[in-house]
Structure 1
Amino acid sequence: MTKIIIDIFMYLFEFMLFWNYSNTLFEPKKNTKIRFFLMLLNTLVLFTIYQFNITYLNVILMFITYSMLLFSLYNVSFKTAVFHSLIFMVVMLASEIFIMVICSMLFNDFNALENNISVYLFSAITSKLIYFAIIMAILKTFAQKESAEQTNKFFWLLFVMPLTSIMVLLCFRYITYQMKLTHFLSVFWAISCLGLLFANILVFVIYEYSLKSTKELYELKTISYQEEQDKKYYEILEQTNKEMQLFSHDIKNHLIQIRNLEDINAVQDYVDKLYPNIEHFSRIGISKNKMLDLIISKYSRLCDSKNIQFDIDVKTANLSYIDDVDLSTLMNNILDNAIEAAEKSNSKIIQLYLFSKNAMYDGLLVKNSCDFAPINKNGILKTSKNNKSFHGFGTKSIKNVIKKYNAIYDWKYDDKSKMFETDIVFSKK
């Protein structure tokens, strides 16, 4: 009876592992209730057959039923379903055989599993822990191949839990081998071992849940950020439209004034005065990248308010393949630093260029006037502000985006022209 109870927990453990593995890797074809019922029913059938000690039949049925469940319940090919079922079967057999060999070495009896329920409990739980650790490692490997997300290095630290659990089980098994336990202590030890087994699953489940929650939170923040940028974008459009309406209303008077001018030089002077207003309206929507247009419009107005000349040329590239949040982080850091330096300079100039070098690369070039050479240490820019904890050139944020898109970043300062230059090359791949 005790053995049956242990087996129930072992098969329940395998069910939970297979459920988590399937739902993590594959897209469901059926709803949750159907998948849960069929997998649980399959586990019950395998458990029943196992009680008759027909090992080869149990292994064959496990392979066949796992393949059919994956193929029928998830959007995978039959070949993929067979492959992953084979992984489960091989890992399970390997872990059980490994523990059987260890037990036979410890107790000098290959049949110790059948003769001693304490040994059986130890071997069952230890083999499942090894089984669990290997499957989770395989799961993470396949999940990383299927996903473009960045690998989370802390995942592998979770394997300290199953490894420590195995060591604890070995120590306890050695103690129980040296002394005879009472019935109460045997039951208590069995419950503790089972609790330790399921605690390992709980650690990984909580970790995956926290990752999922963090991802969802980031997505919500990204959506909120994009909505905020959309709002700002349309506010600028609305403001620009209002200004254009006023300008259109005044253009009739301007045309009358130009018609009354007889001197060609006077006409040219008058047109030159009107041109900056026309150029101002053309700033918005020049790149066909909404985020880039928003950034350009923002800094165009900011430069106007600070009497900084802002020259733009983004006709041949717009970095549309860069995520809006990343583009905003990159451009805001670069242009904020450029404005800060240009505002203190005599020339007060900022130049922004985006261009395609060829079919494979895009270039971003930002030049700004800067009367004093920037502080740098071994080529790394340092802040010149007093509170270094909160201020700087933002190079860390810039380099994070550069690293994410495998771009090339460089900067230089020309003492003669008093110009600071930021160069970034992006691979379109």
Structure 2
Amino acid sequence: MQYLSVGIIYVFEFLITVSFCNRVMDKKMKYSKILVCTFPLYIAAMVLYFAFENLAINSIVSFLIFFLTIFIGYKEKIYKQVIYTIYLTMINYISEAVFYLFVFSRYTAITQEKTFSDPQSLLLSISSKILNFILVQLLVLLIKHKELNGNKKFLPLFIYPFISLCFSAQFVSLEDKYQFTKAEFNTYIIISVINTIMCIGIFIYYGLLDEQDKKLKEFEKEQQFVELNDSYMQVLESQNNEMHMIVHDVKNHYAAIASMDDANEIHDYISSIANDIQKYQIIKLTNNKMLDLLLSKYKVECSANGIEFNTEVKTADLNYIDDSDLSIVICNLLDNAVQAASKSNAKQISLSLRRVNNFDVLTVTNSCDIEPQSANGKIATSKKDKTSHGYGMRLIEKYARKNNAEYEWHYENDKNIFVSTLIFKR
């Protein structure tokens, strides 16, 4: 019975830890692989528990398995991994102390027992794990306090573990008044075990659904972005065709000018032609039609926003990248640059594309008066609707990886500039 009891407790600790990690960190690998790689740690911890039966050793082992679970399966800075491990360890022992020292002190005083039977000990431990789970999930809400809309959907789920906790307390109260048979006690323990697994399982399942929902929203945003760019490219193509028509009709313009006698009339006519040509002008820097169209798009947009837009393209044209992928990467880079530069004093953007050995290096530099906030190497969106925005950087990273590229960024405080760099390996 003791082996079964301790085994159940370690399973609960494993599920609680994984549930916490899934909510606050990005995974390094698939969820199933995380379970396979980390669950043996808890089996080893259980073996050490019976081998030493020492509180200090068990405390150290608990700390280590919590840390290794985070380190093996999740992406996070090492100092945060240590902090999260400390949180989990503290909550683990606080929840046990609450039940053993407070809730069940009355039970011990009435029966005058200094030790509990195996079923009673298991009941105590299960109840403490329910409290442990509640505290851990509340910690998640504190860590993710900025994601208010995402947290709201988890709040109703707390009803289940709280009811389970109250149910356990009520059973203890009845145990003071009535003597339950062993069969009745074991039945309640089985119900408690199932109840606790369901509590944790529902949160884990809801967390996975939330993760899938975020991926779906990201995909929808991505699709909208692609459709928007396709539409814009069609507009640019149309403008390009119209410009060619204007140039093709240059003989007629010459004839019209030749028939004019008034200098002012000639001047006005030439100005109108120049304006038409300028309106439809497409930058021609490379042999990559899509890249030229994109640079033309942002030349117009920067001009409309009073931003100086400089381009320097040498020896590289990224013609080996799919047009759709290139559009998503360039547009996200320059959308972010335009947004920041338009709010700055200098109002400048520079784009550089050059080949260095076997690499093509794309660099976008924009003026930016306020250093962007970042977390875990990712820029935090400044927009109010955080659930609908903030996908730009993820899209850049996603399509950089897809095209065998590395994406880096940094902010230079002394120059008030933000620099984005994509390095493509040919």
TM-score, structure 2 normalization: 0.61
Q: Distance in 1 between matches of 2:299 and 2:194?
A: 55
Match of 1:200 in 2: 199
Partner of 1:365: none
Query: Is the 8 Å Cα contact of residues 28 and 75 (structure 2) preserved in structure 1?
Result: yes
Partner of 2:251: 252
Match of 1:42 in 2: 41
Matches within 5 A, 1:56-135: 56-67=56-67, 70-71=70-71, 79-101=79-101, 102-108=103-109, 112=113, 114-135=115-136
| Contact preservation (8 Å) 2:19, 2:200 | no
Once residues 78 and 278 of structure 2 are traced to their aligned partners in structure 1, the CA distance between those partners, rounded to angstroms, is 62
**Partner of 1:241 in structure 2?**
240
Following superposition, the deviation at residue 212 of structure 1 comes to: 0.9
1:194 deviates by 0.7
Matched-pair contact (CA < 8 Å) for 2:23–2:207: no
Q: Would you say the 8 A contact 1:99–1:126 is kept in 2?
A: yes
Q: Distance in 2 between matches of 1:206 and 1:65?
A: 23
Deviation at 1:51, TM superposition (A): 3.7
Task: Supply the RMSD in Å over aligned alpha carbons.
Answer: 4.2
Question: Who is 1:358 aligned against?
Answer: 345
In 1, Cα distance between equivalents of 2:211 and 2:41: 29
8 Å contact kept, 1:103–1:112: no
Contact 2:25 2:74 in 1 (8 A): yes
Cα deviation for residue 257 of structure 1 reads 2.0
Per-residue deviation, 1:225: 0.5
2:305 is equivalent to residue 314 of structure 1: yes
Kindly provide the CA deviation profile for residues 264-290 of structure 1, in whole angstroms up to 9, marking residues without a partner as x.
244245446546634642699999695
Structure 2 vs 1, CA of residues 271 and 113 (structure 1 numbering), >3 Å: closer, same or farther? farther
Mapped to 2, the partners of 1:189 and 1:106 lie a distance apart of 17
Secondary structure of 1:115 counterpart: coil
In 2, the alpha carbon distance for the partners of 1:164 and 1:59 equals 29
Identity %: 20
Q: Is the partner of 1:180 in helix, strand or coil?
A: coil
Residue 358 of structure 1: SS of its match in structure 2? coil
The aligned amino acid for 1:158 is: L
- The alpha carbon displacement at 1:126 in A equals 1.3
Equivalence for 1:165: 164
Note the C-alpha offset of 1:60. Answer: 2.4
Please say which structure displays the higher CA radius of gyration. 1
CA contact (8 A) 2:243 2:281 kept: no
- What 5-or-longer segments of structure 1 have no aligned partner? 297-311, 328-353, 361-400, 406-427
Offset at residue 313 of structure 1 (A): 4.3
Inter-CA distance 113–286: structure 2 relative to 1 (3 Å threshold): farther
Aligned residue in 2 for 1:390: none
CA distance in 1, matches of 2:346, 2:269: 43
Cα distance in 2 for residues equivalent to 1:66 and 1:266: 83
What is the CA deviation profile of residues 84-119 of structure 1, one whole-angstrom value per residue up to 9, with x for unaligned ones? Answer: 333222221111111012212234169858333443
Shift of 1:202: 1.8
1:285-304 aligned within 5 A: 290=297
Counterpart CA distance in 2 for 1:356 and 1:83 is: 37
CA distance in 1, matches of 2:35, 2:3: 23
Residue aligning to 1:397: none
Q: Is the CA contact 2:99–2:124 (under 8 Å) kept in the aligned structure 1?
A: yes
Match of 1:334 in 2: none
Distance 1:66 1:356, change over 3 A: closer
Aligned to 1:181: 180
2:193 partner amino acid: L
Alpha-carbon distance in structure 1 between the residues aligned to 2:245 and 2:133: 71
CA distance in 1, matches of 2:13, 2:281: 64
Q: CA deviation at 1:209?
A: 1.7
Higher mean displacement: 10-19 or 111-120? 111-120
- Shift in CA distance, 316/95, structure 1 to aligned 2, threshold 3 Å: same
Q: Is the 8 A contact 1:104 1:112 kept in 2?
A: no
Structure with more contact order per residue of length (Cα contacts < 8 Å, sep ≥ 6): 2
Distance in 1 separating the partners of 2:97 and 2:115 = 14
Counterpart residue type for residue 105 of structure 1: R
Asked if 1 retains the 8 angstrom alpha-carbon contact of 2:240 and 2:281, the reply is no
TM-superposed CA distance for 1:254, in Å, is 0.6
- Contact kept, 8 Å, 2:119 with 2:186, in 1: the verdict is no
Q: Tell me the residue number matched to 1:142.
A: 143
Report if aligned partners of 2:27, 2:73 keep a CA contact under 8 Å in 1.
yes
Aligned partners of 1:65, 1:187: CA distance in 2, in Å?
A: 30
Structure 2: gaps (5+ residues): 284-291, 310-330, 336-340, 348-381, 387-416, 419-426
Q: Equivalents in 2 of 1:356, 1:66: separation in Å?
A: 45
- Relative to 1, partners in 2 of residues 1:209 and 1:244: Cα closer, same or farther, differing over 3 Å? same
- Number of aligned residue pairs: 318
TM-score by length of 1: 0.61
Give, in whole Å, the separation in 2 of the partners of 1:290 and 1:151: 36
